[in-house]
């Protein structure tokens, strides 16, 4: 989903302008043409593959969300402890914000995993891109930072794109429940935006911490997935060796590694470049869904996915980047 960071993208696929303020130059050993750019590309591809891992694991949505969180905690905990030893305790405000936003992420994960099972890898991953509208809107409402006219103009286009992608004019015949999957995908994206908004403030309160807020948020998300699992009939851990292997891959590559890479890399790359590179997440999800999961999107869904990707590019600063190149 998302599937979805500490530096600006914790769980989110797009840069936070307040964090990515550095403008690297070609002489910088960590320039946009070097390791940070590679880190963002790898992160985007890993996040784009998360939905495929859910399908291959053949786990229920609550089980997939639960294991995704708690296996990731095992990976993140040692890194978080090292960070805490180096910088001291996480400030109380950052701790609370990370926990609350992580709880939203936990619900997001359950909804997104069900969206993947209902509508497919590509559709669900494209739909969570609604967070690029939700996050700036929350900053506008609660932070007083009014977005420009271009952002406001993009909102109805994004809505049209999501309706088309969700299958309002035809969906993949092989999708289990495309209507419900589309609704859950959009709700997941909204909660994703809430999580990114929380981490945005968490980074302000504790700028020296990268892994610890991610770990706290992941624990909180894990608690919420456990509650959801009990409420929805329980968790099923009888996945077989293959299922467990795919769940470990989801937690390590689609969760812990992707977020940490994004947290480290995004502050070293400009916002427009980061946003453009992160388009690889929904694009790779659509490609993987078609090639491996056998998904067949209808023409209207392709048009909708294209609109969503275009809006993500515009909101992420793509036009500004083109003007600068000229």
What is the three-class DSSP state of 91? coil
Does residue 107 register a pLDDT over 90?
yes
Tokens of 153: 């103009």
Burial of residue 20 (number of CB atoms within 10 Å: 0-12, 13-18, 19+): buried
pLDDT-above-90 percentage for the chain: 33
- Integer Cα distance of 229 and 126 in angstroms: 25
pLDDT on residue 19 = 40
pLDDT at 243 over 60: yes
Give the pLDDT score at 22: 43
Number of separate domains in the chain = 1
Query: 4 pLDDT exceeds 70?
Result: no
**Residue 20 domain-assigned (yes or no):** no
Q: Which of 8-12, 208-212, 249-253 has the lowest mean pLDDT?
A: 8-12
pLDDT at residue 320, as a whole number: 61
Distance CA 147, CA 309 (A): 19
**Cβ-Cβ contacts under 8 Å for 232 (sequence gap 6 or more):** 61, 62, 110
Q: Are 49 and 285 in contact (CB under 8 A)?
A: yes
Residues 21-80 have pLDDT tens digits of 444 443 444 444 578 888 888 988 998 899 999 999 999 999 999 999 999 999 899 999
pLDDT higher than 80, residue 128: yes
* Distance in angstroms (rounded) separating the CA atoms of residues 50 and 45: 9
The answer to whether residue 248 is domain-embedded is yes
Is 12 within a domain? no
Task: Provide, rounded to the nearest whole percent, the portion of the chain with pLDDT above 70.
Answer: 84
| Per-chain mean pLDDT for the chain | 81
In a domain, 276, yes or no: yes
pLDDT of residue 237: 93
Q: Is residue 189 part of a domain?
A: yes
Cα(229)–Cα(320) distance, integer angstroms: 44
Range of the domain at 163: 35-325
| pLDDT of 91 over the 70 cut | yes
Q: Is residue 232 part of a domain?
A: yes
Q: How far apart are CA 149 and CA 217, in angstroms?
A: 33
Which letter does DSSP use for residue 14 in this model? S
- Per-residue model confidence (pLDDT) at position 241: 94
**Res. 318 pLDDT band, cuts 50 70 90:** low
257-311 pLDDT, tens digit per residue, is: 887 787 778 777 766 576 667 778 888 888 888 888 788 878 888 898 888 888 8
Whether the predicted model's global pTM rises above the 0.85 cut: no
Measured at the CA of 217, the angle between CA 214 and CA 223, to 5 degrees, comes to 140
**pLDDT above 70: residue 7:** no
At residue 282, the pLDDT reads 84
Rounded Cα–Cα distance for residues 5 and 259 (Å): 5
Candidate from 64-73, 110-119, 145-154 with smallest mean pLDDT: 145-154
DSSP tally for the chain: helices H, then strands E: 14, 0
Does residue 21 form part of some domain?
no
Confidence of residue 9 (pLDDT cuts 50, 70, 90): very low
Higher pLDDT, 142 or 226: 226
Residue 28 lies in a domain: no
More confident residue, 300 or 11: 300
Give the per-residue pLDDT at 185.
Answer: 93
pLDDT of residue 217: 92
pLDDT score at 296: 82
């Amino acid at each position: 989903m998302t599937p979805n960071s500490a530096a600006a993208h914790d769980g989110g696929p797009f840069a936070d302008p307040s964090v990515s303020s550095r403008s690297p130059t070609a002489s910088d050993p960590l320039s946009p043409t070097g390791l940070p750019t590679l880190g963002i590309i790898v992160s985007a591809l890993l996040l784009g593959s998360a939905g495929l891992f859910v399908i291959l694991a053949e786990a229920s949505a609550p089980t997939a969300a639960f294991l995704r969180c708690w296996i990731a905690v095992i990976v993140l905990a040692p890194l978080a402890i090292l960070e805490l030893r180096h910088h001291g305790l996480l400030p109380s405000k950052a701790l609370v914000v990370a926990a609350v936003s992580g709880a939203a992420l936990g619900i997001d994960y359950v909804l997104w995993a069900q969206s993947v099972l209902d509508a497919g890898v590509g559709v669900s991953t494209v739909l969570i891109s609604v967070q690029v509208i939700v996050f700036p809107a929350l900053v506008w409402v609660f932070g007083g930072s009014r977005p420009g006219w271009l952002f406001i103009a993009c909102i109805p286009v994004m809505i049209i794109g999501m309706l088309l992608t969700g299958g309002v004019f035809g969906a993949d015949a092989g999708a289990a429940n495309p209507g419900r999957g589309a609704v859950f995908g959009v709700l997941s994206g909204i909660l994703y935006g809430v999580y990114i908004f929380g981490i945005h403030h968490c980074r302000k309160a504790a700028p020296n911490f990268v892994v610890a807020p991610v770990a706290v948020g992941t624990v909180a998300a894990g608690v919420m997935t456990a509650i959801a699992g009990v409420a929805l009939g329980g968790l099923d851990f009888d996945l077989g060796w293959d299922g467990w292997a795919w769940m470990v891959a989801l937690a390590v590559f689609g969760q812990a590694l992707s977020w940490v890479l994004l947290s480290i890399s995004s502050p070293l790359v400009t916002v427009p470049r980061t946003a453009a590179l992160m388009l690889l997440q929904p694009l790779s999800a659509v490609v993987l869904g078609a090639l491996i999961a056998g998904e067949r999107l209808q023409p209207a869904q392709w048009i909708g996915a294209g609109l969503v990707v275009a809006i993500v590019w515009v909101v992420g600063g793509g036009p500004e980047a083109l003007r600068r190149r000229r």
